[in-house]
């Protein structure tokens, strides 16, 4: 074997921006400023909803249904703020899928819920057994179906099993949300703090990449899953029932919270996550965030309402385009660093 070492330097372009980052400082600042507080807010909302659900079945009235619907809205607000974080305790025990089984293109959750209601097996509703049921019946999507149907009031009044199911889901959500928040505070923060000791993470920089993935990858998902998959090629072809939270008429409210949360995830804390990118890029990226937020602000919270008008449709299309532009800004900025979010892991074979 002859060694023919070529002049490779001509072919290679090195990173333009050399980081002088204390990765652990960034990771912990973000954890303390955003991650743990936001999970705590979510857990608090889920606990309040569970409290609301307790006793709900003794007398279902328009008033009590409205109250638990409001508690659901607050809990969903809390979940949307942390939905983009797909590493750490949320990955334990299938917690992420048990909290929310979505997208559900085949309507699996609805079918499982109907089957459960038809079966009327009350033993599955104990907290121990309920945690082992199909993920499709355990979380926010199933609860939304029970609470936000046109016939919800009549059905919950007539069928005590449905009502008990509301309580079981609310208790389950409370337990999971509390578990995630607690594990972040008690355990995973320590895992992040000691990332350089090579336990779960290879290094503190490796941990930072998980935070960056939680920032960047969801922007593409928001664009594709939460907007483009619904709006299709034309207003006539739009399919609102593919939207997240269409029943509770808050699909666009979700998007507004998602983007605001990502914005905070990028900029909050000291040192903020934005310090790992070249400083000259930050203003442009923040302008990108502002652009998406301004576009979304023109829209109502309900996707159904937005899709009724040509201007609403056009604005949604604009929001998808703004998200795509923001994604590309972040991607271009990352290219100047030696931080790689994935290659085989994103598009393997």
Site residues for another protein per CB under 8 A: 1-6, 8-9, 11-15, 91-92, 94, 97-98, 108, 135, 198, 200-202, 206, 209, 335, 338, 340, 342-345, 348-349
246: alpha, beta or left? (left if phi > 0; alpha if psi -120 to 50) = alpha
For another protein, give the closer residue by CB, 4 or 236. 4
Residue where the block lists tokens 């009724």: 308
CB of 104 to another protein, least distance (A): 10
Task: Give me the least distance between CB of 238 and another protein, in Å please.
Answer: 22
Closest CA to 180 of 96, 293, 61, 273: 96
Rounded to a whole number of angstroms, the minimum distance from the CB of residue 16 to another protein is 11
8 Å CB contact between 209 and 341: yes
The smaller minimum CB distance to another protein, of residues 96 and 263, is found at 96
Residue 347 beta carbon to another protein: minimum distance, rounded to whole angstroms: 8
CA pair distance 75, 222, nearest whole angstrom: 20
Find the largest Cα–Cα distance for the chain. 85
CB of 7 or CB of 236, closer to another protein: 7
CB 177 within 8 A of CB 38: no
3-state secondary structure of 299: coil
Which two structure tokens, joined as six digits, stand for 143?
């609860």
**Minimum distance, C-beta of residue 279 to another protein, in the bound complex (Å):** 20
Measured from the CB atom, is 55 or 342 closer to another protein? Answer: 342
Nearer to another protein, 62 or 348 (CB): 348
Closer CB to another protein, 167 or 204, in the complex: 204
**What's the distance, CA 310 to chain centroid?**
28
Nearest approach, Cβ of 184 to another protein (angstroms)?
17
CA distance 46 to 57: 18
């Amino acid at each position: 074997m002859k060694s023919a070492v070529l002049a490779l330097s001509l072919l290679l372009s090195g990173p333009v921006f050399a980081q002088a980052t204390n990765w652990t400082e960034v990771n912990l600042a973000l954890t303390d400023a955003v991650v743990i507080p936001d999970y705590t807010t979510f857990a608090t909302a889920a606990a309040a909803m569970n409290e609301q659900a307790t006793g709900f079945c003794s007398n279902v009235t328009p008033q009590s249904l409205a109250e638990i619907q409001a508690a659901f809205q607050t809990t969903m607000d809390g979940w949307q703020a942390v939905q983009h974080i797909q590493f750490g305790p949320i990955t334990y025990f299938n917690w992420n899928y048990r909290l929310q089984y979505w997208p559900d293109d085949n309507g699996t959750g609805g079918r499982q819920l109907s089957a459960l209601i038809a079966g009327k097996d009350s033993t599955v509703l104990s907290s121990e057994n309920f945690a082992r049921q199909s993920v499709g019946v355990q979380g926010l999507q199933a609860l939304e179906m029970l609470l936000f149907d046109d016939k919800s009031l009549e059905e919950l009044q007539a069928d005590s099993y449905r009502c008990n199911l509301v309580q079981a889901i609310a208790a389950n959500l409370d337990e999971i949300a509390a578990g995630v928040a607690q594990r972040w505070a008690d355990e995973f923060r320590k895992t992040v703090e000691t990332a350089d000791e090579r336990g779960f993470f290879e290094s503190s920089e490796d941990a930072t990449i998980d935070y960056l993935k939680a920032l960047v990858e969801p922007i593409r998902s928001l664009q594709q899953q939460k907007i483009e998959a619904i709006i299709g090629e034309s207003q006539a072809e739009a399919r609102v029932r593919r939207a997240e939270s269409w029943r509770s008429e808050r699909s666009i409210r979700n998007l507004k919270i998602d983007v605001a949360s990502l914005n905070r995830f990028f900029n909050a804390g000291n040192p903020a996550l934005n310090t790992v990118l070249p400083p000259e890029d930050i203003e442009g990226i923040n302008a990108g965030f502002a652009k998406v937020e301004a576009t979304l602000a023109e829209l109502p919270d309900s996707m159904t309402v937005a899709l009724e008008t040509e201007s609403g449709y056009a604005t949604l299309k604009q929001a998808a385009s703004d998200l795509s532009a923001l994604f590309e800004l972040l991607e271009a900025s990352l290219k100047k660093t030696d931080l790689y979010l994935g290659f085989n892991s994103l598009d393997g074979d």
